[in-house]
Amino acid sequence: MQKKRKQFIQKVKFNSLIGLFILLFSACGSKHNQEGLDTYFEDSLSRYNRMLTDVIVADIFTPPVASRIYAYSNIAAYEGVRFMEKDSRSLSGQLHHLTITTKPDPQKSYYYPLTSLVAFTEVAKPLVFDLERMEKMQEDLLREIQDIGIDYDIFNNSVALGKSIAKEILLRASTDGYLRRTALPRFSVTDDPGRWRPTPPDYMEAIEPHWRTIKPFVIDSAGQFDPGLPTAFDLSESSQFYKEAIEVYETVQNLDTAQLNIAKFWDCNPNISTTKGHVMYFQQQISPGGHWVHITAQVLEEQKAPHVTSAGALAKVSVAIADAFISCWDQKYKSNLTRPETFINENIDPDWAPVLQTPAFPEHTSGHSVASAAAAAVLTNIFGNNYAFVDATEVPYGLPVRSYQSFNQAAEEAAVSRLYGGIHYRPAIELGVAQGRQVGNYILQKVRLR
């Protein structure tokens, strides 16, 4: 299997080189259409992220892994375009273990939006499964740029610069612990009634039990913003834990239409399984991190933000989400608390089912709560406390738009959706929001783009 994958990668790389050679060759004699290029690259980063999302969704990446892909890709996009503004700062040295020495040659000319595109796609390619699809995406975009008209030297210089930046960013990705995590001991399920066990309908193994070992981008360690332990597990009906389980049970039993719509809108489970008779099929959706990347993209388009501003915002939000998942997953597998579905079925009502499918990892804290609060903290810092926006992220997945008066309002709704969906107790939600805000605010303190 490994040999076949290696051969496939080599084939893709060879085809990529051939495709790039053709593009470079066809650039000879092209007239440089500056106005056409500038028009083409308006909102380009939002477009690339949506295209990347399509690949991530099809590849069925888990929420933590998806957050890593968005982070590295958007870091690359920012590093490629930041040279457009002299006062912009590199993320090199600001993010842990990231060193970028590549700089433009003052004797050469570049078109930095193109450099950004190349850096973004070059970094994304080895991080996804569908290498061929990413290769085609890059080739199609470069061909479109050629069709518009770009000077051969500018094209060549810009592509080379983007590839060099990507190479240095991928060096960090290769040493961040992602590859090593699969060699760590497998997660063991016990009979302890207070500990997490696989949940219906497909009883999947625990997802990413060693994600806390991934190197954070900004926070000092996975445990830096520990939210505290969940309520102590207790089977007695008078206990606080039992009351929290009853709240989940009764909330789902008495959902109104508005609450149901909130639960569905913020589901963001990348892979929902449905069984009918002897047939199981899967429905792919955007991840929680991807949802907030799309919110960021929508706002940037609305603002008609310039390239460097857009790239910086997407990089900061993506890094905040990635570190939020590392922080969240640390406590998840420390406390290893049972999910409401398991507890309620065994102790309250064996026929009860949550509205949303319970994700395959422990309870505390809520990943959506942590990631949403972290992203909202960064977006609030950039666009203000009361930035009203319409979120159309879920329209491609069959859901209507929702409107919000602020990013924090959206994050709080995303968090409480986990209670409405029946997949989290209240402490995981409330402590998760606090945890996410701490992560987001810390990143704002540590990362400066000017």
Distance between CA atoms of residues 396 and 294, nearest Å: 12
Residue 236 lies in a domain: yes
Q: Structural domain of residue 340, as residue ranges?
A: 188-446
pTM (two decimals) = 0.92
Same domain (yes/no): 213, 294: yes
**One domain, residues 237 and 367:** yes
The tens digit of pLDDT for each residue in 65-79 reads: 999 999 999 999 999
Domain boundary among 142, 173, 204: 173
Amino acid 2: pLDDT? 43
**Domain count across the chain:** 2
Mark which of 116, 140, 173 sits at the end of a domain. Answer: 173
Gap between the Cα atoms of 360 and 171, Å rounded:
31
> Please, where are the H alpha helices in 174-287?
240-253, 257-265
- State the DSSP code for 229: P
Question: Does residue 11 belong to any structural domain of this protein?
Answer: yes
Distance of alpha carbon 314 from alpha carbon 292, whole angstroms? 10
What gap in Å lies between CA 259 and CA 386, rounded to an integer? 23
179 inside domain = no
* Maximal CA-CA distance, the chain: 80
Q: What share of the chain is helix, strand, coil (3-state, %, to 5)?
A: 60, 5, 35
Q: Which pair of structure tokens corresponds to residue 21?
A: 């050679």
Position 31 scores a pLDDT of 87
Residue 1 pLDDT: 41
Cβ of 140: how many Cβ atoms within 10 Å?
Answer: 12
Q: Are residues 134 and 222 both part of a single domain? A: no
- 204 and 127 in one domain? no
The answer on 192 and 106 residing in a single domain is no
What DSSP string describes 149-174? ---HHHHHHHHHHHHHHHHHHHHHHT
Look at residue 202 in the predicted model and tell me its pLDDT: 86
Residue 277 pLDDT: 55
All residue ranges of the chain with pLDDT < 70 are 1-30, 271-283
Q: Can you name the residues that pair with 404 across neighbouring β-strands? A: 389
The verdict on 364 and 265 lying in the same domain is yes
Identify whether 48 is part of a domain: yes
**Rounded CA separation 288/174 (Å):** 24
Indicate whether 180 belongs to any domain: no
Contacts of 93 (CB under 8 A, 6+ apart): 99
Q: What is the pLDDT of residue 29?
A: 43
**205 and 146 in a common domain:** no
Q: Cα separation of 377 and 113, whole Å?
A: 27
Which of 433, 177, 215, 447 is CA-nearest to residue 317?
Answer: 447
The answer as to whether 126 is a domain residue is: yes
- Any domain includes 322: yes
Contact 377, 444 (CB under 8 A): yes
Q: Are residues 158 and 230 in the same domain?
A: no
**Domain C-terminal end among 173, 197, 216:** 173
With 0-12 / 13-18 / 19 or more C-beta atoms within 10 angstroms meaning exposed / middle / buried, residue 335 is: buried
Task: Count how many residues are written for the chain.
Answer: 450
Please, what is the Cα angle at 376 between 318 and 422, to 5 degrees? Answer: 100
Residue 183 in any domain: the answer is: no
Instruction: Provide the pLDDT for residue 274.
Output: 55
Do 80 and 201 fall into the same domain? no
Closest CA to 52 of 104, 117, 106, 103: 117
Which helix (H) or strand (E) element contains residue 123?
helix 112-124
pLDDT at 279: 52
Nearest to 414 by CA among 368, 380, 358: 368
Q: What CATH number is associated with residue 128? A: 1.10.606.20
Q: Are residues 54 and 16 in the same domain?
A: yes
Give the CA distances from residue 131 to residues 55, 126, 385, in Å, rounded to whole numbers and listed in that order: 9, 7, 40
Same domain for 207 and 168, yes or no, is: no
Whether residue 348 sits in one domain with residue 239: yes
Question: Which two tokens mark 147?
Answer: 């069709």
Q: What is the number of other CB atoms lying within 10 angstroms of the CB of residue 365?
A: 33
Strands 389-391 and 402-404: antiparallel
